[in-house]
């Protein structure tokens, strides 16, 4: 097994999380310039071992806002003026963008110091970050393994200590999957909670949302507290600073959709989490997977349709110089699949659009649903890589990541929490989901589980189940 890699050290960042660094800034213990320079040094140290950075900002500006001076990265599918946006693909040009996206503009208004762009798989179409455009991004816990996807670069950078928080987005699990792979907290918010690109809102089923990955619950809660003030469309989450008093009705699912197998270590971690919840006084009940395999078939058809739209409409959607001949084999595999099943898309779309009601019905008797994030821990580099046989890639992906897309289609929130560890030392995440608009319940429960799992509040760099050893 490869040694873990970390950049944590005795510099201005230390081992503090975002909230800890804000407190240090307020006390005068560190300056924004010191934080930026320390993070840049860490990013340079991680460039080769992790391969999580696409491009760096030449002279990162220190902005003002509630996160004034906190260094971060933005995933490379969000436009920032002066930087190219590759979408993890060789098919796009490397011409700098002239306009910053609405979300990236809001993100910068929070005061983050944006150091650069983080890696992702081609157009975020798979659950690992190993595009041909940049090569594989590696997991700090074991660089021989995947960091997850599609926000794999951001997760790798946060887990290794390069930055305490990084931008991520999620169209089928892309916040929660890399969080689970890298031992982080990853909240996919309710649809509409944060601003989204107009083109994503115009999709037949709007599934993609913005967010972040962090090392602590309080960092995630602080981010949503501040950014929702810039986009107050839903009932506010508010300032969640600890466990809630309400005891929750919690459903537990420890088996996959349609009998898909779940790794015994993952299953044991979910059951351990259920035991923790029961010990905390919550009402826990194990239930079968509440959604049928028709959902899986319909989402696959929709996902294939996204790939087809990229292939035929890339010039209009992404880049006038888009070259479809440079797309990866897996993208062509998905696009080709769509051509065979396009006749079934109208019915699939009707069912997907009706799914939020189906999802809500499953929560009539429950407040929260616990499940795996993934069916097994992070696989080795290459298992889902761009050079894998595309058909095998698809089969493996469907078995690996079947627990996350339901929340994208429903629009409801879900969070990945680093509860467990495999025998080989890889993180195992557990997913907690709630009805639409109920992020506060998830954060309050996450605080409880964080405490119950004995995470050190004085050393937030430590995962709830341990910490990567030095590099």
Q: Note the pLDDT tens digit of each residue in 90-132.
A: 999 999 999 999 999 999 999 999 999 999 999 999 999 999 9
pLDDT in tens, 41-78: 999 999 999 999 999 999 999 989 999 999 999 999 99
pLDDT surpassing 60 at residue 466: no
Instruction: Determine which helix (DSSP H) or strand (DSSP E) holds 51, and give its type and residue range.
Output: none
Tokens of 200: 């994503």
- 39, 86, 101, 174: which is the annotated catalytic residue? 174
Residue 174 falls in the annotated catalytic set: yes
Residue 424 falls in the annotated catalytic set: no
Q: Find the mean pLDDT for residues 429-443.
A: 98
pLDDT in tens, 160-175: 999 999 999 999 999 9
What 3-state DSSP class applies to 285? strand
- 75, 86, 147, 190: which is the annotated catalytic residue? 75
Instruction: Supply the pLDDT for residue 1.
Output: 63
How sure is the predictor about 467, in pLDDT bands with cuts at 50, 70 and 90?
A: very low
Q: Find the mean pLDDT for residues 438-460.
A: 78
Instruction: Supply the pLDDT for residue 463.
Output: 57
Instruction: Supply the pLDDT for residue 231.
Output: 87
Token pair 């074991």: residue: 142
Instruction: Supply the pLDDT for residue 202.
Output: 82
Domain 18-452 has CATH 3.90.1300.10: yes
Instruction: Supply the pLDDT for residue 460.
Output: 32
How sure is the predictor about 457, in pLDDT bands with cuts at 50, 70 and 90?
A: very low
Instruction: Supply the pLDDT for residue 240.
Output: 98
DSSP 134-196: T---EETTEEEEE--SSSHHHHHHHHTTS-SEEEEEESSSTTHHHHHHHT-EEEEPPTTSS--
pLDDT surpassing 90 at residue 458: no
Residue 380: phi and psi, rounded to 5, are: -70, 150
Instruction: Determine which helix (DSSP H) or strand (DSSP E) holds 244, and give its type and residue range.
Output: none
Residue 293: phi and psi, rounded to 5, are: -70, -15
pLDDT in tens, 8-19: 999 999 999 999
Residue 150 falls in the annotated catalytic set: yes
Instruction: Supply the pLDDT for residue 312.
Output: 97
pLDDT in tens, 350-409: 999 999 999 999 999 999 999 999 999 999 999 999 999 999 999 999 999 999 999 999
- 118, 150, 371, 402: which is the annotated catalytic residue? 150
pLDDT surpassing 90 at residue 433: yes
Instruction: Supply the pLDDT for residue 465.
Output: 56
- Strands of 283-286's sheet, edge to edge? 165-170, 209-214, 185-188, 414-421, 427-433, 368-372, 249-252, 283-286
Instruction: Supply the pLDDT for residue 2.
Output: 84
């Amino acid at each position: 097994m490869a040694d873990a890699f970390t950049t944590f050290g005795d510099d201005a960042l230390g081992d503090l999380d975002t909230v800890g660094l804000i407190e240090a800034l307020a006390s005068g213990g560190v300056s924004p310039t010191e934080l930026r320079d320390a993070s840049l040094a860490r990013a340079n140290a991680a460039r080769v071992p992790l391969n999580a950075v696409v491009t760096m900002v030449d002279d990162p500006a220190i902005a003002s806002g509630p996160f004034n001076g906190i260094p971060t990265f933005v995933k490379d599918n969000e436009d920032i003026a002066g930087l190219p946006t590759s979408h993890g693909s060789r098919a796009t040009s490397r011409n700098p963008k002239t306009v910053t996206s609405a979300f990236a503009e809001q993100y910068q208004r929070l005061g983050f110091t944006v150091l650069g762009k983080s890696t992702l798989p081609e157009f975020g179409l798979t659950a690992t970050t190993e595009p041909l455009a940049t090569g594989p991004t590696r997991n700090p816990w074991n660089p021989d393994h995947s960091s997850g996807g599609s926000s794999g670069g951001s997760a790798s950078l946060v887990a290794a200590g390069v930055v305490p928080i990084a931008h991520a987005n999620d169209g089928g699990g892309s916040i929660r999957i890399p969080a689970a792979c890298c031992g982080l907290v990853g909240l996919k918010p309710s649809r509409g909670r944060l601003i989204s690109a107009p083109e994503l809102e115009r999709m037949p089923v709007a599934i993609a949302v913005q967010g972040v990955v962090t090392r602590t619950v309080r960092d995630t809660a602080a981010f949503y507290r501040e950014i929702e003030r810039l986009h107050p469309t839903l009932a506010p989450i508010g300032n969640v600073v600890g466990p809630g008093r309400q005891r929750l009705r919690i459903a537990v699912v420890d088996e996959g959709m349609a009998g898909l197998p779940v790794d015994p270590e993952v299953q044991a971690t979910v059951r351990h989490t259920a035991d923790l919840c029961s010990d905390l006084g919550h009402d826990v009940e194990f239930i079968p997977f509440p959604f049928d395999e028709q959902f899986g078939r319909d989402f696959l058809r929709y996902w294939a349709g996204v790939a087809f739209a990229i292939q035929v409409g890339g010039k209009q959607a992404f880049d006038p110089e888009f070259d479809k001949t440079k797309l990866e084999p897996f993208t062509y595999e998905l696009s080709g699949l769509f051509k065979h099943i396009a006749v079934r898309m109208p019915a699939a779309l009707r069912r997907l659009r009706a799914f939020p009601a189906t999802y809500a019905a499953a929560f009539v008797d429950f407040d929260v649903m616990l499940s795996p994030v993934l069916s097994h821990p992070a696989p080795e580099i290459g298992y889902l890589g761009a050079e894998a046989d595309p058909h095998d890639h698809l089969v493996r992906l469907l078995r690996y990541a079947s627990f996350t897309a339901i929340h994208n289609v429903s629009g409801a929130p879900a969070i990945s929490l680093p509860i467990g560890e495999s025998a080989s030392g890889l993180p195992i995440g557990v997913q907690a989901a709630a009805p639409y608009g109920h992020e506060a319940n998830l954060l309050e429960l996450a605080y409880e589980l964080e405490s119950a799992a004995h995470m050190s509040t004085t050393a937030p760099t430590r995962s709830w189940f341990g910490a990567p050893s030095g590099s």
